[in-house]
Amino acid sequence: MKIKTKKAAAKRFSFSATGKVKFTRAGRRHLLSKKSNSKMLGKRSAGFMMDGDAGHVRRCLPYGE
Protein backbone atom coordinates (compact mmCIF):
# COMPACT_ATOMS: atom_id res chain seq x y z
CA MET A 1 0.00 0.00 0.00
CA LYS A 2 1.24 3.50 -0.77
CA ILE A 3 1.97 5.84 2.13
CA LYS A 4 0.86 9.45 1.98
CA THR A 5 3.48 12.16 2.22
CA LYS A 6 3.05 14.75 4.98
CA LYS A 7 2.76 17.85 2.84
CA ALA A 8 3.71 20.20 5.66
CA ALA A 9 7.05 18.40 5.97
CA ALA A 10 7.54 18.31 2.20
CA LYS A 11 7.33 22.12 2.09
CA ARG A 12 9.95 22.54 4.82
CA PHE A 13 12.51 19.79 4.30
CA SER A 14 14.43 18.17 1.48
CA PHE A 15 17.23 15.64 1.23
CA SER A 16 20.81 16.27 0.21
CA ALA A 17 22.65 14.02 -2.23
CA THR A 18 24.21 12.13 0.68
CA GLY A 19 20.84 11.57 2.34
CA LYS A 20 20.97 14.21 5.07
CA VAL A 21 17.81 16.17 5.87
CA LYS A 22 18.19 19.77 4.71
CA PHE A 23 16.15 22.78 5.82
CA THR A 24 16.15 26.53 5.31
CA ARG A 25 16.93 28.68 8.31
CA ALA A 26 14.29 30.75 10.03
CA GLY A 27 14.37 34.50 10.59
CA ARG A 28 14.65 35.99 7.11
CA ARG A 29 11.07 37.11 6.48
CA HIS A 30 10.53 40.37 8.34
CA LEU A 31 12.07 42.72 10.95
CA LEU A 32 15.33 42.52 9.04
CA SER A 33 16.63 46.00 9.80
CA LYS A 34 17.57 45.16 13.39
CA LYS A 35 19.41 41.96 12.47
CA SER A 36 23.13 42.19 11.89
CA ASN A 37 24.79 41.43 8.59
CA SER A 38 26.77 38.59 10.10
CA LYS A 39 23.58 37.00 11.42
CA MET A 40 21.93 37.24 8.01
CA LEU A 41 25.01 35.86 6.30
CA GLY A 42 24.78 32.76 8.48
CA LYS A 43 21.13 32.30 7.61
CA ARG A 44 21.84 32.08 3.89
CA SER A 45 23.22 28.58 4.00
CA ALA A 46 21.00 25.54 4.47
CA GLY A 47 20.96 23.70 7.76
CA PHE A 48 21.26 19.95 8.23
CA MET A 49 19.31 18.09 10.89
CA MET A 50 20.87 15.97 13.57
CA ASP A 51 20.29 12.24 13.15
CA GLY A 52 17.92 11.99 16.11
CA ASP A 53 15.52 14.54 14.64
CA ALA A 54 15.97 13.43 11.05
CA GLY A 55 14.28 10.09 11.69
CA HIS A 56 10.94 11.76 12.24
CA VAL A 57 11.24 13.70 8.97
CA ARG A 58 12.12 10.51 7.09
CA ARG A 59 8.91 8.91 8.30
CA CYS A 60 6.94 11.95 7.11
CA LEU A 61 8.59 11.84 3.68
CA PRO A 62 8.61 8.15 2.77
CA TYR A 63 9.56 8.66 -0.87
CA GLY A 64 12.29 11.26 -0.38
CA GLU A 65 10.39 14.24 -1.75
DSSP letter assigned to residue 23? E
Query: Does position 65 have pLDDT exceeding 80, yes or no?
Result: no
Give 46's pLDDT tier (boundaries 50, 70, 90). Answer: very high
Pick the CATH number of 1-26+40-65 from 3.40.50.2020, 3.30.9.10, 4.10.410.60, 2.30.30.280: 4.10.410.60
19-29 pLDDT, tens digit each: 999 999 999 99
Q: Are 53 and 2 in contact (CB under 8 A)?
A: no
d(CA 32, CA 64): 33
Per-residue model confidence (pLDDT) at position 5: 96
DSSP letter assigned to residue 17? T
Per-residue model confidence (pLDDT) at position 39: 96
Neighbouring CB atoms inside 10 A of 21's CB total: 22
The domain ranges of the chain are: 1-26+40-65
